[in-house]
Chains A and B, each alone.
Chain A
Amino acid sequence: MDIYLPVAEVSLDIFILLGLGAGVGFLSGVFGVGGGFLLTPLLILIGVPAPVAVASSANQLVGASVSGVLAHYRRGNVDFKMGFTLLMGGLAGSVLGVWMFTLFARLGQIELVISLCYVILLGVLGTMMGIESVRTILRQRRPGAARRRLHRHTWMHGLPLKTRFRRSQLYISALLPIGLGFGVGVLSAIMGIGGGFLMVPAMIYTLGMPTSMVPGTSLLQIIFVAANVTLLQAYTNHTVDAVLALLLLVGGVVGAQFGTRFGTRLRGEQLRFLMAILVLAVAAKLARDLTLRPSDLFMIPTDNRL
């Protein structure tokens, strides 16, 4: 059954949209990421104009993250102080990101920028996570092998504004989470993602947070960054399709609840290995599209939004 999306201005099958939302929601529950990095490219693939896909995904993310945070909160796995510190950087970053989005759209390069961002980020991250998780799994098979040192002192620990994050058992500079939030905020506006797939590994490896606290805390700040992106995109570019977002949400929020339960049964490194494979698969697909000769050398970007 086809449904007409008023802002995207295309007719799409309602069951495909619901299924897409449910699938991505499930993954988001399992991995503690918003799932935007899968949702946006998939929406573009089924015919939603790229700018609308980016903005509506951000809208959908708000709801999916609320649902996810509530599930994690009940297990006591949300570090509010860390979440709001990340958020300060995230809000500033998303303002810059939406501005850059408008600029690239005017230059006719936004679709390329979106794809390039995905390929580079997903490729690098997937590789890193894959290597790390395989190493961990192998190390566990050889019980006598050397363990990672608990605390390694690097330049990051010399930064000012040292703050104690009790729930995460950390005493680090507040500049680290703020900077991380800022970078992810920029990307979240350009790519229509909450940035969970960036945030989660960064929180584990750079900040050194306990893995159990990471998904809930990451989702907490995604709620606000995604809400900010939705508002700014709606106001600046008029590209938020609320009907599309609502359909994705209906499937997504339910999927996220099941995903969260499924995720607690898997072990951390197994989870990270699965996610690495997923991330690399999406990156490979997008990279192929970028280098493949397009079927038509000419295109009219505004034709999707007449």
Chain B
Amino acid sequence: MVSARRLALALLGLVALQPGPACAEVVVADLSSHLIAITTGFTGASVVLFGATDGQADVVAIVRGPERDVTVWKRGKVAGIWANTDSVTFANIPAFYAVAASGPLNDILSPAAATLYKIGTDNLRFEPRSSTDPEKASVFANALIEVRKRAGVFSPSHQKISFLGDKLFRTTFYFPANVPTGTYLVEVFLVRGKDVVGGQTTPLVVSKVGVDAAVFDFAWRDAFAYGVIAVMMAVMAGWLASLPFRNT
């Protein structure tokens, strides 16, 4: 948890150094929480994004999870059995992706701006790791989006950002129980005349905390010791359970 917070602070520093899309017009936003703590009873979480604009405008917000390479497999029938037959590995795909907007995306934003700022799952960049036939790559890319949408980690359609008066806005992002851990970026764009005229980026950390985090870290850091303890624990449990039945 400490390391997660440190990471968040470091990221805040980075973000401050980066020039925003445009500095002339202003949007300020923040999250109700910058840490989603995955505990033993974790069944998902909601985070409220709220903020204000400097006047009448549209707002688009995207949440992006940590980027990783993703391999998509296609199943085919081999000798009557369904097996993984073909795969494409895409580079740097966000593990989580959600969009919220104050109006229909096509109406408030030009396609060029949407592509530039990677707004909407269709505008994510899918670059295969090895050279792949573009048609095949696009089929696999669409499949990736579909699989992730069904898993709830890519938002199926954009959510509504609601305005209170002219300047104040808010929306709620929902994170399912299977939310991937890591450092997320929440980008808020100020939109006027179908173009992005201002923006702000806020980090959000999804991290396991408490016993679960300790177990997970242990399983990766001291894998052998973890294995030994897992075995000993099992032996103890087996022995303890047989005690009450000893004299029968």
Contacts and interface: CB of A to CB of B under 8 A. Distances in A.
B1 to A, nearest CB: 14
A59 B230 contact: yes
Contacts of B40: 3-4
A68 B237 CA distance: 12
Interface residues on B, range: 35 or more
A302 to B, nearest CB: 7
Contacts of B84: 108-109, 111-112, 299
Given A2-B43, A242-B226, A301-B73, A257 B245 contact: yes
B200 to A, nearest CB: 27
A242 B230 contact: yes
Contacts of A6: 208, 211-213, 215-216, 219
Contacts of B242: 66-67, 70-71, 253, 257
A300 B73 contact: yes
A60 interface: yes
Interface stretch (B9-17, B25-33, B102-110, B144-152): B144-152
> Which 6 A-B pairs give the minimum distances between C-beta atoms?
A66-B238, A253-B241, A234-B227, A298-B143, A63-B234, A306-B180
30 contacts: A6-B211, A6-B213, A11-B177, A60-B234, A62-B231, A63-B235, A64-B238, A67-B237, A68-B238, A70-B239, A108-B71, A112-B81, A112-B83, A223-B235, A230-B234, A232-B227, A235-B227, A240-B227, A240-B230, A243-B212, A245-B230, A246-B234, A253-B242, A254-B241, A256-B241, A257-B245, A261-B248, A290-B81, A297-B76, A301-B73
Interface of A: 1-4, 6-7, 9-11, 59-68, 70-71, 74, 108-109, 111-112, 116, 223, 227, 230-236, 238, 240, 242-243, 245-246, 249-250, 253-254, 256-257, 261, 290-294, 296-303, 306
Given A249-B234, A300-B144, 16 more contacts: A1-B41, A59-B231, A63-B234, A67-B237, A74-B246, A231-B231, A234-B224, A242-B233, A246-B237, A253-B240, A253-B242, A296-B147, A298-B73, A299-B75, A300-B148, A303-B151
